[in-house]
Amino acid sequence: MAVSLTEPQVRDRVKTVTRRAGWRMLRVGDQLTLCRKVMGRRRGEPLERIATVEIISVRREPLDAITAADVAAEGFPHLTPGQFVAFFCGTHRGCQPGTDVTRIEWRYLDHGEANESRPTRDRAGSTAALADGDGVKGPV
């Protein structure tokens, strides 16, 4: 999963929630590799892996249902819910405040804690082992 808009928050491990337009196939217990950029890399450009996470909660909800606590968990404690919604809509074409999004919550896995054989899902719902290729196949 690409986290280019919140890379510093992921590196600091303060971001524990994300909202996505898709990603409906995720299930609690799935593991994801968070990367700077997944799609749109130039030929030969390496996939920069930042962290591996385990999904602990997934649900669909309107974007504008976000709480101040979730804005902080998204890595933006200085924004109000309204400011976060405006930021999200401004960076996601076609998104409106009432658009249903997937709220994804995770916990960070320490080195050696990630299960290399546990499947991870891409946006289409297919699985790929973390040890195979990129470990993440879908854009975000």
Supply the pLDDT for residue 130: 34
Q: Is residue 137 predicted with pLDDT exceeding 50?
A: no
Asked if residue 71 is part of any domain, the answer here is: yes
- For the chain, what's the residue count? 140
Number of domains in the chain: 1
The reply to whether 117 falls in a domain is no
Share of the chain above pLDDT 70, in %: 81
Q: What is the pTM of this model?
A: 0.79
CATH number at residue 85: 3.10.400.10
**Burial letters for 26-50: b for 16+ Cβ neighbours within 10 Å, e otherwise?**
beeebbbbbbbbbeeeeeeeeeeeb
pLDDT in tens, 67-122: 999 999 999 999 999 999 999 999 999 999 999 999 999 999 987 776 655 555 55
Average pLDDT value for the chain: 84
For residue 131, the SS3 value is: coil
2-16 mean pLDDT: 94
Residue 56 lies in a domain: yes
Q: How confident is the model at residue 133 (pLDDT cuts 50, 70, 90)?
A: very low
